[in-house]
């Protein structure tokens, strides 16, 4: 399946990035910027991000001239603008005149002016000012040929504890629970005498007040997500009205824990995100990181289940990482085509021209302080630009996945906030990655879904550490298995419902019948400690957790070999209807994960590939329009036994040889 291009009518892969001409109010600089952009194969710039003071230097006094000029210059080169709303940071005059727009911290103290996301999402005056400037932008540029998409604000994040937000929290709770009795039950407030007898008694969780009522903290996080959605709706209202055909997005941040992106994404026209992996250049460090980055791309594709934009990335050293290390040769192209392979229809940077001052002046950019493009970094950017031009056929191509992995913000919130299990690190993300990595390393295409997703069309659903099983999910997973699907489940599942209340009657609660097991208790292994299982005659180490199972219909495929539960089941499968449901009772080393999934994939009839260590395969499109991205994240060269046609050179290849950090895009991939 092929989606229409995100920017209507613009069927190239976008290449560009954040551009801040208002830091350089100088036509000579701007002309040079346009020249270099062209030399780099850049066809888009994101402008107006953090430009509020440049656009409105005093309340009600506007200055759009510089932006007119820039957009005109861009249009003249056929470039498309991601035009930003400036709400990510307020002018000083605004904070000064309306101090109530500033956030209040968890400590209850009002912030001073400064920083980026430092505005109260409830503030009526802030919303009014944002809508005003957004209206002016939309009206002024609604017919401008450079206008490609709206870039809403920037990296939404944080939270506010001001009285207005607290009041909205109470209102939100009232709508959700209707009665205090329902809230008191859901939050289990009888514990420690926390029962509320009036709505007005409720406050946000705070280190100065309540820190241990999990239900309250969970709802506060949901409320904060709702605040962002509500604010997004308010600030896009004039844009939707005035420029109904221009798509809107806000740049997300992968697995940023503060917002449930599945919920927020419903409001977006398309997803986009900012990706800053810290590559080391070593095989051993970068391969797990490559899998993690692939997962995040899949997740960002997953929140809308369609292609997305890579809105920011860095062609050189990311200045805020602990070690602002240079990308090794090839790495910039590698990371860029990884994004495209996993569903990005753009490669964009922060930022086009390096700032001269302030906190990101040492962040890798397209135009460095030296001011020209005769650098190692520019050589690679230009090469990438030309590759992207050759890959326009990729635009809009869907990812052909028969396997899905459940990753869920609300589950992460509940699990990570739980007191119990391994309190030092619950290992939710690690466990997710154990499973993801096993599939990614075998070239399996995966969709990442929330717990609420429709599972139709998938042959395999992997659901690691499904601590929270919300209303309906138990039934849907059961139906999925009965209809012939394969479910892969793990320890730490089926503990609580959507309110973080424990399931009574035996874990894993709503999954018990589907999995055919009862989990009596769970052992936590100490750091450095391991148990062991045998699989196909091979010993594998088991870490971190050891759930204690009773078989209730399932059969055991492997048993613990040590400790007081030696001989008890550690890996089970339950046949149910036409499908099968697996359960893995602890974290297993990579060798097992790979071996086990190889069997599982064969059984489930899902395509896999034999790839060298560190090499991954991402597919987009189908048939003649299938693109296969072969990406080598190892520092060493490798050879892949796949044949096809090089999508850029048209050369037919019987096998693919990749340099360390090398990439090749194939078409007409020959299977088995």
Q: Scanning residues 417 to 446, which ones bind a second copy (CB under 8 A)?
A: 418-424
32 is a catalytic site residue:
no
Among 67, 84, 89, 640, binds a second copy (CB under 8 A): 89
| 523 near a second copy, judged by CB under 8 A | yes
The answer to whether residues 319 and 375 touch, using CB atoms and an 8 Å cutoff, is: no
Shortest Cβ distance from residue 324 to a second copy (Å)?
5
- Token pair 């085509």 is found at 337
Among 11, 201, 392, 649, binds a second copy (CB under 8 A): 201
Query: Which of these segments, 290-298, 351-359, 574-582, 595-603, binds a second copy (CB under 8 A)?
Result: 351-359
Query: Which of these segments, 20-28, 144-152, 245-253, 290-298, binds a second copy (CB under 8 A)?
Result: 20-28
Burial 46-59 (b: 16+ CB within 10 A, else e): bbbbbbbbbbbeee
| 354 near a second copy, judged by CB under 8 A | yes
Q: Which helix (H) or strand (E) holds 587?
A: strand 587-588
Cα 440 to Cα 618: distance, rounded to the nearest angstrom: 9
| 65 near a second copy, judged by CB under 8 A | no
Shortest Cβ distance from residue 634 to a second copy (Å)?
15
**For residues 215-244, which are near a second copy according to CB under 8 A?**
215
Q: Which is nearer to a second copy, 241 or 376 (CB)?
A: 376
Considering only CA atoms, which of 288, 269, 268, 270 is closest in space to residue 278? Answer: 288
Burial label for 408, CB within 10 Å (0-12, 13-18, 19+), is buried
Burial label for 538, CB within 10 Å (0-12, 13-18, 19+), is exposed
Catalytic residue from among 155, 235, 373, 547: 155
| 18 near a second copy, judged by CB under 8 A | no
Among 237, 360, 532, 607, binds a second copy (CB under 8 A): 360
Helix 124-141, helix 214-242: angle, nearest 10: 30
DSSP one-letter string for 71-90: HHHHHHTT-EEEEEPSTTS-
Among 9, 60, 244, 322, binds a second copy (CB under 8 A): 322
Shortest Cβ distance from residue 613 to a second copy (Å)?
21
| 27 near a second copy, judged by CB under 8 A | no
Q: Which helix (H) or strand (E) holds 182?
A: helix 180-186
Contacts of 607 (CB under 8 A, 6+ apart): 402, 443, 444, 601, 671
**For residues 550-579, which are near a second copy according to CB under 8 A?**
563-564
**Which two three-digit tokens encode residue 224?**
């904060």
Q: Which is nearer to a second copy, 281 or 612 (CB)?
A: 281
Query: Which of these segments, 203-211, 228-236, 239-247, 589-597, binds a second copy (CB under 8 A)?
Result: 203-211
The answer to whether residues 581 and 574 touch, using CB atoms and an 8 Å cutoff, is: yes
- The contact mask relative to a second copy for 398-417 (x = CB under 8 A, - = no) is --------------------
Cα 640 to Cα 609: distance, rounded to the nearest angstrom: 10
Among 320, 472, 566, 578, binds a second copy (CB under 8 A): 320
Q: Which is nearer to a second copy, 299 or 377 (CB)?
A: 377
- Token pair 């969970």 is found at 218
Q: Which is nearer to a second copy, 320 or 613 (CB)?
A: 320
Helix 214-242, helix 409-417: angle, nearest 10: 150
The answer to whether residues 50 and 85 touch, using CB atoms and an 8 Å cutoff, is: no
Among 169, 188, 223, 295, binds a second copy (CB under 8 A): 188
| 196 near a second copy, judged by CB under 8 A | yes
Catalytic residue from among 312, 451, 547, 559: 312
β-bridge pairing 147-151 and 251-252: unpaired
Cα 260 to Cα 501: distance, rounded to the nearest angstrom: 20
Q: Which is nearer to a second copy, 541 or 594 (CB)?
A: 541
- The contact mask relative to a second copy for 590-629 (x = CB under 8 A, - = no) is ----------------------------------------
| 383 near a second copy, judged by CB under 8 A | no
Contacts of 491 (CB under 8 A, 6+ apart): 465, 519, 522, 545, 546, 547, 584, 585, 586, 587
312 is a catalytic site residue:
yes
Among 359, 650, 654, 655, binds a second copy (CB under 8 A): 359
**For residues 471-500, which are near a second copy according to CB under 8 A?**
499-500
Active site residues: 155, 312
């Amino acid at each position: 399946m092929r989606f229409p291009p995100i920017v209507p009518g613009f069927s190239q892969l976008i290449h560009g990035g954040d551009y801040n001409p208002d830091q350089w109010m100088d036509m000579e600089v701007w002309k040079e910027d346009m020249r270099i952009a062209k030399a780099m194969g850049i066809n888009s710039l994101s402008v107006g991000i953090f430009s509020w003071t440049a656009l409105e230097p005093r309340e009600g006094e506007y200055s759009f001239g510089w932006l007119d000029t820039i957009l005109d210059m861009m249009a003249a080169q056929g470039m498309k603008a991601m035009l930003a709303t400036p709400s990510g940071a307020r002018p000083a005059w605004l904070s000064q005149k309306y101090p109530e727009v500033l956030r209040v911290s968890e400590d209850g103290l009002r912030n001073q002016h400064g920083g980026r996301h430092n505005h109260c999402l409830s503030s009526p005056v802030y919303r009014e000012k944002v809508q005003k400037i957004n209206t002016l932008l939309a009206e002024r540029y609604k017919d401008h040929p450079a206008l490609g998409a709206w870039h809403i604000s920037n990296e939404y994040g944080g939270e506010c504890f001001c009285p207005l937000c607290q009041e909205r929290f109470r209102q939100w709770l009232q709508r959700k629970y209707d009665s205090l009795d329902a809230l008191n039950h859901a939050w289990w407030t009888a514990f420690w005498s926390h029962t509320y007898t009036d709505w007005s008694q409720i406050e946000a969780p705070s280190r100065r007040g309540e820190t241990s009522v999990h239900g309250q903290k969970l709802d506060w996080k949901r409320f904060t997500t709702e605040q962002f959605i509500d604010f997004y709706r308010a600030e896009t209202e004039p844009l939707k009205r005035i420029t109904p055909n221009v798509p809107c997005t806000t740049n997300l941040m992968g697995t940023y824990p503060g917002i449930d992106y599945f919920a927020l994404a419903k409001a977006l026209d398309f997803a986009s995100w900012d990706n800053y992996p810290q590559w080391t250049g070593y095989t051993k460090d970068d391969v797990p990181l490559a899998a993690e980055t692939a997962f995040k791309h899949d997740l960002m594709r997953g929140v809308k289940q369609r292609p997305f934009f890579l809105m920011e990335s860095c062609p050189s050293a990311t200045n805020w990482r602990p070690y602002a290390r240079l990308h090794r040769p090839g790495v910039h192209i590698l990371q860029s085509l990884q994004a495209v392979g996993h569903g990005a229809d753009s490669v964009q940077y922060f930022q086009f021209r390096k700032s001269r001052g302030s906190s990101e002046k040492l962040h890798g950019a397209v135009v460095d302080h030296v001011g020209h493009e005769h650098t190692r970094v520019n050589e690679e950017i230009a090469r990438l630009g030309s590759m992207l031009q050759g890959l326009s056929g990729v635009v809009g191509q869907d990812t052909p996945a028969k396997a899905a992995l459940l990753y869920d913000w609300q589950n992460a919130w509940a699990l990570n906030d739980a007191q119990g299990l391994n309190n030092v690190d619950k290992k939710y993300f690690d466990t997710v990655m154990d499973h993801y990595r096993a599939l990614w390393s075998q070239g399996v295409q995966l969709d990442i879904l929330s717990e609420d997703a429709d599972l139709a069309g998938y042959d395999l659903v992997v659901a690691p550490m499904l601590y929270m099983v919300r209303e309906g999910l138990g039934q849907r997973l059961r139906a999925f298995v009965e209809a012939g699907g394969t479910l892969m489940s793990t320890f730490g599942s089926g503990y609580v419902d959507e309110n973080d209340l424990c399931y009574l009657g035996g874990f894993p609660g709503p999954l018990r019948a589907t999995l055919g097991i009862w989990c009596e208790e769970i052992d936590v292994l100490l750091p450095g400690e391991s148990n062991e299982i045998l699989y196909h005659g091979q010993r594998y180490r088991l870490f971190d957790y050891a759930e204690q199972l009773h078989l209730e219909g399932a059969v055991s495929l492997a048993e613990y070999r040590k400790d007081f539960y030696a001989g008890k089941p550690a890996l089970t499968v339950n046949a149910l209807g036409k499908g099968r449901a697996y359960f893995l009772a602890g974290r297993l080393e990579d060798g097992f994960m790979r071996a086990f999934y190889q069997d599982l994939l064969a059984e489930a009839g899902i395509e896999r590939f034999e790839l060298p260590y560190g090499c991954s395969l991402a597919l987009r499109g189908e048939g003649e329009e299938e693109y296969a991205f072969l990406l080598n994240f190892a520092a060493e060269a490798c050879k892949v036994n796949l044949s096809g046609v090089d999508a850029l050179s048209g050369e037919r290849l019987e096998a693919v040889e990749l340099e360390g950090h090398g990439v090749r895009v194939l078409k007409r991939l020959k299977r088995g």
